[in-house]
């Protein structure tokens, strides 16, 4: 597949020479367009440009990014709006991860054509896009871990733990009898270690079974 100059230059927005952008490569082989040290810096530049001028709608962003004297701006606006699912004049929040990423990927796709990947921009994976966004302080929202729901499975897991503890309680007298019968050949220290060891094994087993059941439920196995 033929690669566009924007991808080759790590400059998917096709920024021209002129501004002292952060992350510019030491060598600049392209006489028209800037070359960046990594794709993340090129993506960062694209984002910074949007924020620098207070551009808040797709029409505003593309109108400045691709002025009509050099581009079919209206076609560009329609393409970005269609890919993002937003109207051309919708107000966007360029500090919001979802808005910023959607517009950024749509611009990359329009500037460079169709690439080999199944991502929205078709050239970069999500990790690369996120690196560029992180350089301007915009990161994916963190997923909060919710409480474990009370269901038949989680109740069963709790019951399993209770059974393990109750079984230990029932078995404890027999264990003590066995230890007492063997006390002639065991020191008091050895007897104590045996009892403590049995307690830890049985309680640990009960806790493990309960944890395993809850983990399987949360993973959708149960």
CA distance 106 to 84: 7
Q: What is the mean pLDDT of residues 143-157?
A: 56
50-64, 170-184, 202-216, range with greatest mean pLDDT: 50-64
pLDDT at position 58 over 90: yes
The residue-averaged pLDDT of 28-33 equals 96
Is the confidence at residue 34, as pLDDT, over 90? Answer: yes
At 22, is the pLDDT very low, low, confident or very high (cuts 50, 70, 90)?
Answer: very high
pLDDT digits 0-9 by tens, 97-140 = 999 999 999 999 999 999 999 999 999 999 999 999 999 999 99
Tell me, yes or no, if the pTM score tops 0.85. Answer: no
CA distance 80 to 73: 11
- How many degrees, rounded to 5, is the angle at CA 210 between CA 204 and CA 216? 130
């Amino acid at each position: 597949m033929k690669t566009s100059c924007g991808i080759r230059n790590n400059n998917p927005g096709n920024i021209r020479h002129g501004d002292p952008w952060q992350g510019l490569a030491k060598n600049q082989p392209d006489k028209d367009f800037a070359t960046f040290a990594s794709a993340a810096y090129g993506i960062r530049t694209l984002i910074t440009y949007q924020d620098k001028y207070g551009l808040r709608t797709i029409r505003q962003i593309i109108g400045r990014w691709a002025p009509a004297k050099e581009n079919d701006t209206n076609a560009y606006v329609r393409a970005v709006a269609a890919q993002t699912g937003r109207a051309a004049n919708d107000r966007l929040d360029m500090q919001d991860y979802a808005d910023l990423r959607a517009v950024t990927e749509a611009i990359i796709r329009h500037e460079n054509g169709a690439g080999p990947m199944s991502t929205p921009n078709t050239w970069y994976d999500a990790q690369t896009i996120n690196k560029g966004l992180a350089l301007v302080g915009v990161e994916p929202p963190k997923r909060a871990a919710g409480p474990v729901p009370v269901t038949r499975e989680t109740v069963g897991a709790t019951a399993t733990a209770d059974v393990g503890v109750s079984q230990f309680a029932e078995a404890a007298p027999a264990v003590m009898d066995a230890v007492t019968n063997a006390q002639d050949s065991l020191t008091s220290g050895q007897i104590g270690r045996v009892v403590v060891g049995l307690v830890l094994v049985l309680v640990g087993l009960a806790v493990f079974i309960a944890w395993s059941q809850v983990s399987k439920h949360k993973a959708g196995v149960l």
